[in-house]
Structure 1
């Protein structure tokens, strides 16, 4: 099994909790991709904000500070933990295909894209624009866009990631009343193709931000079609990823080849890492 270094201190053992093994979960799911759920924000979700703040850590990206809840502490606080994250935690794995897709930690490429957006003022004129944080995980890309008064939708495969990580991060980083009362910020879980179908009558996005979402080559076409169905004709996509994901086969060269064959988009590399693991950022937009 491919592992992304999901090194966390899991919750203390509890004999009252029943855990499914990776094999059992995959057998049950038979690679059935989760349906779409929209998680609605109400004032009850605001009641834990003080606790979230106590269990958070501040990260700095250039001159931008963002608070992130401790996922480990979130697990310990929950009386009922969804099997998907529970299973990944026990196996110290960031990937259980179609069960858990690694949304609970800050990935290197998310940091790359945050810094790139800051350095290049990507969100400078984004006020009132529609932004999609696709495969959002911790939600930091969308939160940064919301700092600049964008209207942000967050999408992640796992509903429990949205409830345990993304939404708490939104609550501790953004003014509560301004976005809750407007009802413009939205949260969706589930498979990309099902998300596209469920939101087919919704407005398209001016900007789509996505990080570390191409590790599984079997999902490349699904991701590209999501881009095509959710992006405005004049919109932009920024995709941050590793050049190659060892052990699972995905990578940027494969995805670029698909873009060429598909013939709906054009792309260019706008940033490359100079040290460590090879990482890049693609700018993608529709062909004229």
Structure 2
């Protein structure tokens, strides 16, 4: 069985490793760093091993002591602070009542990532969904849930798409099983608009969309969807997210990361080209 952790544990460990590297780069022992910020040495050790959470304010104090001045690196590390809230308020905090802590953490990671590679085998990726499609998927997955909760989850899913319009935007590589395009979610009109939206987004310079056709047969990722997040300035922060509708699990071991990255490269190489994929989407859309 794969080693998995919830997002908060991944964030604490990754943040601790990076802070330890910055401390060593500054030529400080953990005792010296603790003395400079007025802490006990054990607090620095707990932060670096990821055994305890750390506030954004405490991270700021450590970065000041370590002489870290690069704005984006500081912003990322400060955002990674904390066990569940990302070290600072985000738009998703308005939905704390309906979002699980792991899902809030997923959104926070997505907002801080510089790129994402995703495989989807059953539904259109959340970042590419139209509102009507998102509503149809959510209703189907959460049958019987209160309408207000469904409405909130749909608003969250659409709000997440702002990362594609940010400056700089998230770089997204999406590989979709052909089944995603042919499963009629929400009716013909909804699906026709969703397919049109896919072609529109695939035309953006920071979005690459490819399709794994039925004619390919079986492939390495057939067992399930996943997302690989990468982050600016920190080379050892990549994480694989297994994204569910209301929660997420994460894979952080080096061997897991390497396996998923290799699998994605293989699927990208075997999939239709972006141009061929666009033509397939257009053909399916015309027949919808």
Interval containing the TM-score (normalised by the shorter chain)? under 0.3
TM (norm. structure 2) is 0.27
Could you say which structure has the larger radius of gyration?
2
Work out which structure has the larger RCO, using CA pairs closer than 8 Å and 6 or more positions apart in sequence.
2
- Higher helix fraction: Structure 1 or Structure 2? 2
